Amino acid sequence: MSGFSLDASLRLGQTLSPQMIQSLKLLQYSNLQLEQVLRKELQENPILEESLESDEREEERTVDQSTDSGSDDSSDAAEDFQLPVSGVSADKTVVSASDDEPTAAVDGEKMKDVDWEDYEYDSFTPPVGRGSEEGEEKVDLYERINLSSESLEEHLLSQLREKRLTPKRFEIAECIIGNINETGYIAISTTELAEKFKVTESEIEEVRHIILHLDPLGIAAKDLRECLLVQVHAKGLSGSLMAKIIDKHYELLKKYQLPEIARQTGATVAEVQTAIKEIGKLEPHPGTVVSEVRSVSIIPDLIVNKLNNGEFQITLNDGYVPNLRVSKEYIGMLRKETKKSSEVRKYVSEKLNAANWLVRAIEQRKVTMIRVMTSIVNKQKDWFEKGPPNLKPLRLQEVADDISMHISTVCRVSNDKYVQTPYGVYELKQFFSSGVEQEDGTEVSTQRARDLLKELVDGEEKKKPLSDQQLVDLMKDKGIEVARRTVSKYREQLGILPARLRKEF
């Protein structure tokens, strides 16, 4: 007879506290996401409040005076990194990590619970301002974006309500819209719908055709051919060569057999190619149109400027992020209440400790982002000096080793973060690239190789497009040696067709 038993065993492991998990999450947020998170924290934690700009300037002056009499390390670090920080040194942020996950401490000490009754208000106020000097006007350089928007389903239903449909037909239309896949095609057969609603298939098709002509055109199509035809007809081009090719010669179109299409339609090869170019401008995935329209403009998280002396200035674009501090009025009001209620004391202590950890985690996030960006600028100096074609091979581990942080920390900072440079706005992870080894043992960035490939294809003679082998030879002449299969792979990654499909007649 089997029974239950208990076994004891020892194993090494690491458990992250809720505060540490919060700190890691803050690190991976963009500045725009961080603003939303902190706005929510302001609502949920009554001890937190957003300091006014006039208060921030007063605090900056106070901290500047205190650091003038302190060590030189802090001010030096602030100048080197061009932090919007008064009196905070990047060197004071200590980041330690296991092989699995990074852990962090501020000023080399583990966060401790705070006895709020003995707490000094001024010491709670974060020493990070907005980097503006006294009297300097704060300018909003970037438009604030509202992230909330309607979904594709809501977009279609709002249009459908303007149609005069019977309740039965509206119900059928709702079901069809609910069965549209992410690319915009219907994912359920008319037979299934007819059985479900106890109607004929022709009635289902009538409702579906109403949806086909909503915005975006071609939504709920059965296949690509029907989707394209709807768009061509909507443009008033029902009798055009475009419509004829899609409707009568779709299989030849898929095989790109231009001479045969020309023979069967009686058009010239050049006319067929022009018509196919116009077909290429139609939307093959109408389901993605609404999400593309809803996509927000990129707001950089960091800004890199080149100064007159040739050095680079790195700052955080965190003007939207609220500057948090403890509410003096709220603490003063509750100080009396704690004598009456132990529950209030517990509540205030918990909220104060949570607020303290949050503010310090924000400070560490700022310094960590600056340190990562500084390392990237140092290692990609040619890129920042001369422009995008000069990207060097760079791996996450190299930056992690350079700033003595865990690779996962660098990864969190790099993902979904953008930097404004003298050459435009770029995603941080674009500065990380593997290399293509050359005969002399050096490496060339794969991104640089892809950029050169695209440049060569863009400049080719369209009637005599370059083959993959010709591209290999031309790239070698330009100082980049790659194999033919590598060129083929890069071409596919860039969405460039083979030479025979790029040929213009």
Q: Are 41 and 119 in a shared domain? A: yes
Instruction: Report pLDDT for 505.
Output: 67
- Euclidean distance between CA atoms 290 and 28, whole angstroms: 27
Give yes or no for a contact between 242 and 279, defined as CB atoms under 8 angstroms apart: yes
Using CA atoms, how far apart are residues 282 and 112, in angstroms rounded to an integer? 60
Query: Is 398 inside any structural domain?
Result: no
Task: With CA atoms as reference, report the closest residue to 187 among 228, 223, 152.
Answer: 223
What residues contact residue 215 under an 8 Å CB cut-off, 6+ apart? 155, 159
Domain closes at, from 215, 244, 273: 215
Least confident of 126-135, 150-159, 419-428: 126-135
User: Is 460 a residue whose pLDDT tops 50?
Assistant: yes
Listed range (59-73, 186-200, 221-235, 391-405) with the worst mean pLDDT = 59-73
Q: What's the DSSP call for residue 88? A: -
Distances (CA, A) of 161 to 103, 149, 211, 278: 53, 18, 12, 33
Residue in the structure block whose two tokens are 């038993």: 5
Same domain, 105 and 153: no
Residue 386 placed within a domain: no
Tell me which of 220 and 352 has the higher pLDDT. 220
My answer on whether 50 and 79 are in the same domain is: yes
Is 123 within 8 Å of 298 (Cβ atoms)?
no
Helical (H) or strand (E) element with 437:
strand 435-437
Residues 122, 125, 129: CA angle, nearest 5 degrees: 130
Question: Which of the pair, 68 or 432, is modelled with greater confidence?
Answer: 432
102 lies in the same domain as 188? no
In a domain, 413, yes or no: no
- Provide the residue count of the chain: 505
Q: Greater confidence, 428 or 128? A: 428
User: Is 184 in contact with 219 (CB distance < 8 Å)?
Assistant: yes
In this structure, are 229 and 210 located in the same domain? Answer: no
Asked if the structure places residue 41 within a domain, the reply is yes
Element at 280 (helix H, strand E): none
Q: Measure the CA–CA gap between 263 and 39, rounded to whole angstroms.
A: 65
The whole-chain average pLDDT of the chain stands at 75
Same domain, 446 and 476: yes
Residues 119, 206 within the same domain: no
| Statement to judge: residues 111 and 49 lie in one domain | yes
Render pLDDT for 305-344 as a digit per residue (tens, 0 to 9).
999 898 999 998 887 788 887 777 777 766 666 566 677 7
For residue 296, the one-letter residue type is V
What confidence tens digit (pLDDT) does each residue in 34-81 have?
A: 888 888 888 888 878 777 654 555 554 444 444 343 434 333 333 333
Our measurement of the distance from residue 202's CA atom to the centroid of its chain's CA atoms, rounded to an integer in Å, reads 44
Maximum separation of any 2 CA atoms in the chain, in Å: 95
Interatomic CA distance for residues 463 and 440, integer angstroms: 36
Any idea which residue has 């116009």 for tokens? 278
Say which residue, 371 or 30, is predicted with more confidence: 371
Confidence category of residue 94, pLDDT binned at 50, 70, 90: very low
In a domain, 144, yes or no: no
Instruction: Supply the CATH number for residue 485's domain.
Output: 1.10.10.60
Q: Extract the tokens encoding 12.
A: 């090494």
Within a domain: residue 323?
yes
Domains identified in the chain, total number: 4
CATH code, 191:
1.10.10
Residue 16 has pLDDT above 90, yes or no: no
Domain identity same for 123 and 177: no
Instruction: Provide φ and ψ at 426, rounded to 5°.
Output: -130, 150
Rounded alpha-carbon distances, angstroms, from residue 181 to 145, 151, 153, 186, 480: 28, 13, 11, 6, 43
Does residue 219 sit in helix, strand or coil? coil
Which two three-digit tokens encode residue 313?
């200035």
Torsion of CA 75, 78, 84, 90, to 10 degrees: -120
pLDDT band of residue 420 (cuts 50, 70, 90) is: very high
Q: What pLDDT is stored for residue 10 in this prediction? A: 67
124 and 167 together in one domain? no
Q: Can you tell me the distance from the alpha carbon of 132 to that of 387, in angstroms, rounded to the nearest whole number?
A: 29
How large is the average pLDDT for residues 333-362?
75
Q: Is residue 243 part of a domain?
A: yes
Quick one: pLDDT at residue 73? 39
Query: Residues 177, 212: contact at Cβ < 8 Å?
Result: no
Mention every residue, 6+ apart, whose C-beta is less than 8 A from residue 149: 294
Choosing from 379, 398, 413, the residue where a domain stops is: 379
Give the residue, 472 or 88, on which the prediction is more confident: 472
Residues 176 and 241 in one domain: no
State whether 322 and 269 are in the same domain: no
| 3-state DSSP assignment of residue 167 | helix
**Domain limits for position 246:** 225-282
Give yes or no for a contact between 277 and 241, defined as CB atoms under 8 angstroms apart: no
Q: Which helix (H) or strand (E) holds 20?
A: helix 18-28
Confidence of residue 172 (pLDDT cuts 50, 70, 90): very high
- Residue 465, domain member (yes or no): yes
Q: What is the mean pLDDT of residues 362-382?
A: 91
d(CA 324, CA 59): 12
